[in-house]
Amino acid sequence: MNLYELLRGPLLWLSFGVFLGGMVVRLALFVATSRKKDKPIYRFWSWKWLWLSIVHWIVPVNVTAKKNPIVTIVGFLFHICLLVTPLFLLAHGVLWYESWEISWWSLSEKVADYMTLVAIGCGLFFLVRRMVAPHVRVITTAADYVLLAVTLAPFVTGYLAYHQYFDYYTVMILHMIFGELMLVVIPFTKLSHFLMFFVSRAVTGMEFGRRDAPSW
């Protein structure tokens, strides 16, 4: 089995397994801990405050958006490009079809190309912000830089692969390695916020909500 087949077959299964399994475990551990240590949450459970909190933070109608509009805009652009580009990339769609005979709508390659650049650009903004802004710098550790690199690596290599810069096959193999690496590290790092964000916002929303104070 060559490297491509290894990365497309067993290692892809492994990375999706670790990613999905890891997130289920993360969520289960969170629920188990909260049942022991944060019983009021269940006593004052409120779907209304739960959803109000999530919605206010998933659309930019909150205190951060007002205080830091630039960070909000860059943050939203970053996350939209980060999620939408790989999911609706034509080339990825072809692979989904080849493997599972399932297909869905895809972006034009030109749009996806620009979105990749936007994701990289926004990532660089956050890198500089981490280094320059004192209130962010003080809570930054080496792991944050590594995580940013892990997040951006699939996009940088994806961009290079699409434009066929350098040795195409090598870049493509690197793209696959970095993509799978990102999936694997998600459950063990801050990147798990893609799911835990909803939990945090829900809990905070309900916690503030029972005091009739919006958390946004």
Nearest CA among 94, 120, 98 for reference residue 107: 94
> CA neighbours within 13 Å on the CB side: how many for 75?
12
Query: What is the nearest approach in angstroms of other proteins to the Cβ of residue 120?
Result: 19
State which of positions 104-143 bind other proteins (CB under 8 A). Answer: 108-109
Nearer to other proteins, 26 or 92 (CB): 92
Name the residue among 150, 68, 155 with its Cα closest to residue 119: 155
User: Any contact of residue 42 with other proteins (CB under 8 A)?
Assistant: no
Q: Is 127 helix (H, G, I), strand (E, B) or coil?
A: helix
| Residues 159-198 within binding reach of other proteins (CB under 8 A) | 161-164, 168-169, 172
Minimum Å gap between C-beta 121 and other proteins is 22
What six digits make up the tokens of 34?
């909260």
Any idea which residue has 């996350």 for tokens?
79
Q: Which of residues 69-108 bind other proteins (CB under 8 A)?
A: 90-91, 94, 97-98, 108
89: left (phi over 0), alpha (psi -120 to 50) or beta: beta
Helices 10-37 and 168-185, packing angle to 10 deg: 20
Q: Which residue type occupies 42?
A: Y
Q: How far is the CB of 171 from other proteins (least distance, A)?
A: 9
The conformation of residue 30, written as its DSSP 8-state character, comes to H
Smallest gap from Cβ 58 to other proteins, in A, equals: 31
Among the candidate windows 22-30, 117-125, 156-164, 195-203, which touches other proteins by CB under 8 A?
Answer: 156-164
User: Is residue 3 involved in binding other proteins (CB under 8 A)?
Assistant: no
**Which of residues 5 and 38 has its CB atom nearest to other proteins in the complex?**
5
**Given CA atoms 18, 21, 27, 31 in this order, what sign does their dihedral have?**
negative
Distance in Å, CB of 122 to other proteins, minimum: 25
Cα–Cα dist 137/143, whole Å: 13
Nearer to other proteins, 82 or 176 (CB): 176
Residue of 1, 102, 132, 142 that binds other proteins (CB under 8 A): 1
Contacts with other proteins, residue ranges (CB under 8 A)? 1-2, 4-5, 90-91, 94, 97-98, 108-109, 161-164, 168-169, 172
